[in-house]
Amino acid sequence: MENGDVSPLNNCQTKEAKRLCIYDVGTKLNTPDQYDIGGTYTKDESDLWFFCSTSLCPGYQYLLNIFVCHRKPGNISVGISASDVLKYKVNIGSVTNNVLPSSLSWQTLRAVEADEINHVRTFCFTEMDMVRMKYETLIIPLSIVWEPKCLVLESVIKRVKVKHDFGDLLSNEDNKDLELKTPSGRTYKIHRLVMAAHSPVLRNAIKNLKDNSLFLDINDRDLELLLKFMYTGTIRNVSELNCIHLLEMAGKFELRSLFLYMQNVIKTQITVENAMDIAVISEKYKLEDMQKNIFQFVKEHPQVLNTPSWKKLNDINLTKKLLENIYEDSI
């Protein structure tokens, strides 16, 4: 066991984290469930806890889904192996380890409250990989930056979307294990794992189900839009959609990935009429990057302060921050 190993047997310091160690990985992948990986700390204070879930997809594709639980609010940048291809084996004592490539894929994750959970990455393994790993340990290269100065870059978001595009699964009826019902009476068959990975709200609802059916009070068009985003990581023709409505749906289901996506899209959709409505949402969900864009827009378009949305604004904290930003150069 080394200092940078994240495992149940090691109190790894967050700044020193270099590897996720998943013991007996073959058995875990063959037994779909949720498993603890281990935590990271600052001295003796717990910062993060990593865990994984496993599932079997059509064509005997074994999914290993990595999640992180934030023990306290804050932002982290996580770099994790960008490849599913097993690179080599190393022997440490009597334990054989399978190692994934060291090239990292980065994303920034935000927790507004303690114990929030974010999806980090999904790895996909074949039957041949399963034979190779069997009862061995999987080592996944990892790096963590606590409170990064720069949040997610658009190029990073694009790479993450490509890596997590499960669009083919949406149209494939095999192994769909959950039905979503809407007020119209329509039924949508989906994978509960995909729902649970994206939305804490849906994850809690699924946990309490007594059968394989879940009713959602949402219209068919909005549900189809959300399903497309959850499975593909993107929204087609997003410029033609109501950005405020999308943000409200992201808030309703706590879709942090949709918030991140919209923070980049919203820059092209701010208008004098909707600027304050977007500002209210950004304040409610602590979307700092989006709020900075809104404040700059208002500063450049003072006519926003003549709109009905501004006149009915009753959020004192948001009003104070907005005025401080507008007049910062004259203070």
Backbone angles phi, psi at 199, to 5 degrees: -130, 115
The answer to whether 266 and 281 are in contact (CB under 8 A) is no
Residues 6+ apart with CB under 8 A from 109: 68, 70, 75, 76, 77, 78, 118, 120, 256
Kindly state whether residue 188 falls inside one of the protein's structural domains: no
Q: Give the residue among 5, 214, 221, 200 at the shortest CA–CA distance from 92.
A: 5
Q: Averaged over 188-214, what is the pLDDT?
A: 83
In-domain check, residue 53: yes
Average pLDDT over residues 273-284: 90
Could you tell me if residue 12 is inside a domain?
Answer: yes
Query: Based on C-alpha coordinates, what's the Rg of the chain?
Result: 22
- In total, how many domains does the chain have? 1
Q: What percent of the chain has pLDDT over 70?
A: 88
Neighbour count for residue 3 (Cβ, 10 Å): 11
Q: Are 244 and 274 in contact (CB under 8 A)?
A: yes
Query: For residue 167, is it within any domain?
Result: no
Asked whether residue 271 is domain-assigned, the answer is no
Residue among 126, 127, 128, 107 at smallest CA distance from 118: 107
Helix (H) or strand (E) holding 28: helix 25-30
What lies within 8 Å, CB to CB, of 196 at 6+ separation is: 53, 202, 203, 206
Longest dimension (CA), the chain: 72
What whole-number distance in Å separates Cα of residue 197 and Cα of residue 4?
26
Q: What is the pLDDT of residues 112-150, one digit of tens each?
A: 888 889 999 999 998 888 888 888 899 999 999 988 754
Domain span at 111: 5-151
d(CA 91, CA 185): 56
pTM of the model: 0.48
95 is a domain residue: yes
Q: Say what the pLDDT of residue 81 is.
A: 94
pLDDT in tens, 222-237: 888 888 888 777 777 7
Is 276 a member of any domain?
Answer: no
Q: What angle do CA 50, 93, 101 make, to 5 degrees?
A: 50
Place 163 in a pLDDT band, splitting at 50, 70 and 90: very low
Mean of the pLDDT values across residues 279-307?
88
Whether 125 and 64 have beta carbons less than 8 Å apart is answered as yes
Tell me the backbone φ, ψ of residue 227, rounded to 5 degrees. Answer: -65, -40
Residues in CB range of 216: below 8 A, 6 or more apart: 180, 181, 182, 223
Mean predicted confidence (pLDDT) in 96-112? 86
312 in any annotated domain: no
